[in-house]
């Protein structure tokens, strides 16, 4: 989702961070080697993650001679687990910021490096054991699911058929879907026909939507749960020449989706913010804290906001990679 970059939001986050920092028992290290482990740029959102991580590296190293930031990207869970070990053994990192490809598979590798004294900040996709991390930074995943449910219920006047595309098996996907389902259950006239994983991938989403369109003759709305998946959904609907679908709700505030909202697109009339910039914020927060020998709050949650035509312009950044 896109993070609102308004002055008010920046001030609120800065105040929250300043209030939440606590001094650690250990003295500040003379030098900080910060490893950053993130997914490879396989789609728009992860492309934004990689771009923002490298922006943080460039800015922080220029401003802090005692800081080294090493960014690693991985296409698979085993590759990311190996990179975490290499960052410890080869690069001698003493701090780690990681966006895990999968929650359960990365919990043990991350726990192992934490047990060896590495300060760990987990971003976005939480681990299955909170003891494996020192800090967690993410968008508001409950709101990511709740806000679309509220919007779609209103859009359909409390009646209709919805199909759902989930992300990948992870704690954040569970949080989003659970929040969506909890809200939709308040409307007995709305039926969720099916929910399948689209893996936050437009090609996978296209195939899942093709299956939905074949099996269900009346679909009023699609919760794609991600703007990249929404691209695949829209393509499948167009190819099938289906006119029954009234709304495709993605998520994350990608610039193409926000532009559609701004332009009054027939199918994409709303979105919800969840910016890949949170990796930049997490890296910067972690580096600054460790250079001072401080610890971050256990949890930092960046708000998610419903994007409609009324406020879409403040979420539209055409120069950004996502």
User: Cα–Cα distance between 251 and 307 in angstroms, integer?
Assistant: 9
Residue 143's nearest CA partner among 188, 107, 183 is 183
For domain 7-133+276-307, the question of CATH label 3.40.50.2300 is answered with yes
pLDDT confidence tier of residue 14, bands split at 50, 70 and 90: very low
pTM: 0.72
Task: Flag whether pLDDT at 77 surpasses 90.
Answer: yes
For 120-174, the pLDDT digits (tens) are 999 988 899 999 999 999 889 999 999 999 999 999 999 999 999 999 988 889 9
* Percentage of the chain lying above the pLDDT 90 cut: 80
Given a contact cutoff of 8 angstroms between Cβ atoms, the answer to whether 56 and 9 are in contact is: no
Task: Flag whether pLDDT at 56 surpasses 70.
Answer: yes
Give the C-alpha distances (Å, rounded to integers) separating 51 from 25, 128, 188: 34, 27, 43
pLDDT confidence tier of residue 177, bands split at 50, 70 and 90: very high
Which secondary-structure segment (H or E) carries 148? Answer: helix 141-155
* Residue 20, pLDDT score: 40
Task: Flag whether pLDDT at 278 surpasses 80.
Answer: yes
SS3 readout for 232-289: HHHHHHHHHCCCCCCEEECCECCHHHHHHHHHCCCCCCCEEECCCCHHHHHHHHHHHH
pLDDT confidence tier of residue 13, bands split at 50, 70 and 90: very low
Q: Which residue has the higher pLDDT, 5 or 227?
A: 227
For 35-48, the pLDDT digits (tens) are 999 999 987 788 88
Given a contact cutoff of 8 angstroms between Cβ atoms, the answer to whether 297 and 21 are in contact is: yes
Task: Flag whether pLDDT at 23 surpasses 70.
Answer: no
Q: Is there a common fold for 7-133+276-307 and 141-272?
A: yes
pLDDT confidence tier of residue 277, bands split at 50, 70 and 90: confident
* Residue 9, pLDDT score: 39
* Residue 17, pLDDT score: 41
Highest CATH level, class, for 141-272:
alpha beta
For 215-273, the pLDDT digits (tens) are 999 999 999 999 999 999 999 999 999 999 999 999 999 999 999 999 999 999 999 99
* Residue 30, pLDDT score: 66
Give, in degrees to the nearest 5, the angle at Cα 69 between 68 and 75: 150
* Residue 29, pLDDT score: 56
Residue 198's nearest CA partner among 222, 164, 174 is 164
Task: Flag whether pLDDT at 19 surpasses 50.
Answer: no
* Residue 3, pLDDT score: 36
Residue ranges of the domains in the chain? Answer: 7-133+276-307, 141-272
Average pLDDT over residues 28-41: 88
Q: Which two tokens stand for residue 211?
A: 């299956």
| Cβ neighbours, 10 Å, residue 79 | 16
Arithmetic mean of pLDDT over the chain = 90
């Amino acid at each position: 989702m896109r993070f609102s970059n308004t002055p008010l939001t920046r001030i609120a986050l800065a105040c929250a961070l300043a209030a939440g920092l606590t001094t650690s028992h250990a003295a500040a290290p003379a030098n900080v080697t910060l490893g950053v482990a993130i997914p490879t740029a396989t789609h728009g959102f992860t492309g934004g993650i990689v771009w923002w991580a490298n922006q943080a590296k460039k800015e922080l190293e220029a401003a802090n001679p005692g800081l080294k930031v090493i960014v690693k990207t991985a296409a698979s869970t085993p590759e990311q687990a190996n990179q975490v070990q290499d960052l410890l053994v080869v690069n001698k990192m003493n701090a780690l910021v990681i966006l895990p490809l999968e929650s359960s598979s990365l919990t043990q590798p991350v726990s192992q490096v934490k047990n060896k004294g590495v300060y760990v900040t987990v971003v976005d996709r939480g681990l299955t054991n909170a003891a494996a991390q020192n800090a967690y930074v993410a968008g508001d995943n409950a709101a990511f699911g709740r806000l679309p449910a509220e919007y779609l219920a209103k859009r359909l006047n409390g009646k209709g058929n919805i199909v759902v595309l989930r992300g990948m098996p992870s704690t954040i996907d569970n949080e989003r879907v659970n929040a969506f389902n909890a809200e939709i259950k308040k409307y007995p006239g709305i039926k969720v026909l099916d929910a399948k994983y689209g893996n936050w991938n437009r090609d996978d989403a296209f195939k899942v939507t093709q299956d939905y369109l074949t099996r269900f003759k009346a679909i009023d709305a699609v919760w794609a749960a991600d703007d990249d998946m929404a691209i695949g959904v829209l393509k499948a609907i167009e190819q099938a020449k289906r006119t029954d679908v009234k709304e495709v709700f993605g998520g994350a505030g990608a610039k193409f989706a926000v532009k559609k909202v701004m332009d009054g697109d027939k199918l994409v009339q709303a979105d919800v913010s969840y910016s890949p910039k949170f990796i930049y914020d997490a890296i910067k927060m972690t580096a600054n804290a460790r250079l001072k020998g401080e610890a971050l709050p256990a949890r930092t949650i960046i708000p998610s906001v419903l994007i409609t035509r009324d406020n879409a312009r403040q979420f539209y950044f055409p120069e950004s990679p996502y």
